[in-house]
Amino acid sequence: IMLTCRIAKMAFLAYLSATVSGNAGRAAAFRVGGSASAVAGRTRARSSLVDATAMSYLGGKHRGVAAVAGTAAVSAWGASRLASSAAQCASSSTSLSSTVEAVDAGPATVVEHPAFEVIQTDTVSEFGADAILYRHKQSGAELLSLSTDDDNKCFGITFRTPPQDSTGVPHILEHSVLCGSRKYKTKDPFVQLLQGSLQTFLNAFTYPDRTCYVVASQNTKDFYNLINVYADAVFHPRAISDPMVHAQEGWHLELENVEDPLTYKGVVYNEMKGVYSSPDSLLQREAQQSIFPDNAYGVDSGGDPVVIPDLSFEQFAEFHAKFYHPANSRIFFAGDDDVAKRLEIMDEYLSDFQDSPESKPGSAIEWQKKRYSEPVKVRHPYPVSDKEAAPGGEPDTHLLMVNWLMNDKPMTSREEITVTVLDHLLMGTSSSILRKTLMESGLGDAITGGGLSDELMQATFSVGLRGVKTDNVEKVEELVVETLKKVAEEGFSEDAIAASMNTIEFQMREFNTGSFPKGLSLMLGSMREWVYDRNPTEGLKFEKPLADLKESIAKDGAKVFTDMINEMLLENSHRTTVEMFPSKSLEAEQLKEEKDRLAKIKESLKEEDLQNIIAKTAELKKLQASEDSPEARATIPSLDLSDLKKEVTEYPIDVTENESNTGVTVVRHELGSTSGIVYANLAVDVSGVALEDVALLPLFTRIMMETGAGEYDSVALSRRMGTHTGGVSVSPMIAGVTPEGEAEGVVMAGEHFVTKLLMTGKSTSDKTDELFSIFDLILRDANLDSQAKIIEMLREAKSSKESGVQGSGHAVANARIRSRYSAIGYINEKMSGISSLDTVKALLEQAENDFPALLARLENIRNTILEQSTCRDGMILDITGDAAVFEKIGPSVENFLAKLPGDSQGDKLQNFYSEAHPWAMQAKKEMAAEAPLADEGFVVPTQVSYVGKGGRLYEVGEAVSGATSVISKFLGTGYMWDNVRVMGGAYGGFCQFEPRNGIFSFLSYRDPNLAGTIDVYDGASAALMKSAEDLENDPDALATAIIGAVGDMDGALSADQKGSVQFKRWLTRESPEQRQKFRDEVLNTKPSDFKEVAERLMALKDPSSAVVSSKSAFEDASKAGKSFTLKDIM
């Protein structure tokens, strides 16, 4: 991963790190924005269009913001390779022949408009899209219109915005333009859209060379509303005439009393302090700046916190004037909406401008020439705890990454897809040669860099290790280069090439973007060509370059790839090696530098200057605290309640217990079309595993995937998966269920739940036998006796978890809070929360010093899961496909069920719907000691805080109305947004409520405050009570809140997601009637519901806090009366 280069198709992907699993809608209080310099993710050329499957990793819909972290994680602990698709868990694909038939859309139908001229027409048969590229005659704007049959309509507008310095002006402007405009007069129309729209995507993100604004909706009226607000915002923002927006979103000096110290405040300023609290983010920044010393990529488009305060309002406004002219824009549409209407809407905004011939040349990106005659070495510090390592503990370690600039002229389409496959061969799976060699070397704990990044004008390749001891630093670079030399000499085997080719092809043809708009992926794919003044539709086509590559492989074999290794890597001296070394004093030095800088500024100011700052501070806070006028709010377009769908969407499901007397339950979801692909899940009961071994399940499931099985070693198994499937993964699952005989819609005691080992895979229907055979193989015969590999996994897990605490502290805090109130919360936290870090450390020690004992535990887990007499009773095969798929796979299903381990006439497991789960009672006994109701603080080196507080809002057995989802979102996008983000300066503030367990939590993200944020949380009940009173006289505001909540409930789902959603509904015994009742309650939410929740918040039972922050921040909080039980994490 190279910071600011690792942006790609999912620049917004790192936003996932700012969400909380299972309720991402609450993250709406994060502002658009993740700077390009704050985005993580591996990139690939053509997989730009499909890797969005990774975006659906958390499930549900992810609202609002863009990328936020240099090495941001998908979950609390992070996925090491964000932009990898879900399929890449294990490699994927089918055969080299086409797996899903391409659509021949025929010739494009040209729609004309007098204000536009047609530049070109095209048909992108790969995605059944008619494409017309227009130019607006008066303004010079270009508009690409893609007509598809997708009802999830997408609009985007992109400006080329190369920065000249690291003040972060593109990033700050991206935040700021959505803070009111010429037509839409509120302080923050973005928030109003979050609060009251059916949007399926509402976002903006900053790359190192461009800024994108994107909206999507399935509702046509809503879609047009979103387009109008965004178009007016980018062309006519309030921000360029109101310095208060720049002050709020960018930076300002804050002072309330003359005797107080000056402080810096600002959302982007604080966001970037959070980004650069991460060692990985610092590494990425230094790597990018080292490889691009001469062009726009050599500065930080997101902003360096040290440099951000150098940005004046005048420079900020000038940047907008220079780069936000329509002539410098690329406007994109995709979906089934009317093309003529698209042109009509945009003409309304574009006709305000005359052409600006200098705009495009003025934003051109200069090529970075390969000018290094020999590789360059760079060393920089990163902050570590000032505490000494405990006796026998591990010393602080280094991070090291080797980086290449791969090209200094445009690649052909054939070269782009070749380098994509080469990247997969080298880095795509745990068995890929470069990744495998580095991890098995023992020189470090985890991979840094993601290999190829190709979303900018020039591609880079970066790879290295973190957790490197001082004596091994030089060895890492040597190993990277020597491994590449060996590959160049020996080449790749035919089966390795076939597996990687099939993986890439399956991803492209499946085009599975999960719950995210397909149009967004199409936009990102086209933009990687269009933004550099090349043909946008060429960025979407893969059939010809793929066919050319196959032809070349058939002729020359591995030489196709070894030639590229030699040319772009080994014979390329434009290479840098960046080393980050630990510094115990850096955090203190940074704090001192900022304090000294501010003290010096204050000393230089006259009394009248200080009074002016005090006045400006008060003015800004008054503005932030003020309510929008009714007239201003009336300018924001909105839907009516009558526009909402009243019924819950149900998906097909057919359940057969004891199918064909096999003892296995089969669940089928027959959909209209799955393009010949079968999506299968095999759920195996794990309730017999002892609770003390539950924390091993994440390790156990990873072993199933990565150590080999039966006659297959790890490499052979990975290649088999890659050659025959679209991906296989294994994970533990725990889900609360509705007990038999109890009412639905009430808070559960948390004692009834199901626990499964979930094997997930996909393939074309003709490869179903292979998919099922792999399921059976890794379930029965995974190689558990692989000490070296298991030690490697545990070291990587330890490193990733430690990084996750710094980057996703809000999720860590939320999981910890919830672990105190229910057995399920406790068990989940035990497996994946902050307490699992201690478990991983203990397991690592056991693996190194007493592996037979660990092996015995792992073997016992497998023996327990596959207990002959009961295992089939706990097995469920869940399948999603279309009618043709089900007709074809019938014999495969029958054979698979017959061969599964266990006795088809065996004993029954306990009924988890009528009896408490065996883990529940023991978990409750452990909770008092392991998850006490206490205010806990977790200390890490960081410049920001992640503040969580929660408690029981509803008691066990109490009914929970669907209105709570309306109120929770209202609170998050209103009070929390205003007080934690706008006035507090945090990058995000939100709340989460889970009806099933009755627990409510407040959370903040990249927060400059700690004690003050808790005070905000404590004031939420009073604010909500006042809102309840106001809503009595404001039916429009109430309707807006309802619409926004419904928007979070509805969304576009991929075929596999539809099956998964319905499977979970069935598994948890949630009835269609209860779902409809909940929706009805949402639609009929009343002000009195707000009052009830306010009263409950005021009396929140057993509240407790969990905070991730720095030692100095906890010391300041203690002085403010907020005390915590502290634990040093790193």
Q: Name the DSSP letter for residue 682.
A: E
- Residue 1013: name the closest of 958, 945, 1061, 1073 by CA: 945
- The residues facing 158 across adjacent strands are 212, 330
Q: Which residues of 21-45 are buried (b: 16+ CB within 10 A; e: fewer)?
A: bebbbbbbbbbbbbbbbbbbbbbbb
d(CA 861, CA 685): 11
Question: Cα–Cα–Cα angle for 421, 725, 498, nearest 5°?
Answer: 35
Distance CA 806, CA 280 (A): 10
How would DSSP label each residue in 628-661?
PPHHHHHTS----GGGS--SPP----EEETTGGG
Which residue(s) pair with 682 in the sheet?
Answer: 759, 877
In whole angstroms, how far apart are CA 1119 and each of 114, 980, 1012? 67, 21, 12
Burial class, 987, CB count within 10 angstroms (exposed 0-12 / middle 13-18 / buried 19+)? buried
Q: Report how far apart, in Å, the C-alpha atoms of 554 and of each of 419, 492, 520, 799 are.
A: 17, 14, 34, 41
- The phi and psi torsions of 842 (rounded to 5 degrees) equal -65, -40
Alpha-carbon distance of 690 to 699, in angstroms, equals 15
Pairing of strands 153-160, 376-383: unpaired
Spot the catalytic one: 249, 477, 796, 829: 249
Q: Are 781 and 710 in contact (CB under 8 A)?
A: yes
DSSP 8-class letter at 97? S
Distance of CA 413 to the CA centre of its chain: 28
Is 529 known to be catalytic?
A: no
Q: How far apart are CA 1111 and CA 383, in angstroms?
A: 13
CA 194-195-196 angle, to 5 degrees, is: 100
Strands 263-265 and 329-335, bridge-based pairing? unpaired
Strand 677-685, strand 876-882: pairing: antiparallel
Spatial CA neighbour of 968 closest among 73, 13, 20:
20
In Å, how far are 345, 346, 960 from 937, measured between CA atoms? 52, 51, 31
Dist CA 409 CA 369 (whole Å):
9
CA pair distance 822, 828, nearest whole angstrom: 10
Give the span between the Cα atoms of 202 and 66, in whole angstroms.
Answer: 9
What sections of 767-819 are H helices per DSSP? Answer: 768-781, 787-807, 809-818
Residue ranges with strand state E in 986-1039? 988-994, 999-1005
User: In the beta sheet, which residues pair with residue 680?
Assistant: 761, 879
Question: How many Cβ atoms sit within 10 Å of the Cβ of residue 603?
Answer: 8
Q: Is 286 a catalytic residue?
A: no
Q: Which two tokens stand for residue 558?
A: 């591995």
- Please work out, in degrees rounded to the nearest 5, the angle formed at the alpha carbon of residue 663 by the alpha carbons of 661 and 664: 110
Q: Do 243 and 313 form a contact (C-beta atoms < 8 A)?
A: yes
DSSP state of 1064: H
Q: In 3-state terms, the chain is what percent helix, strand and coil (to 5)?
A: 50, 15, 35
Catalytic residue among 117, 126, 142, 174: 174
Active site residues: 174, 249
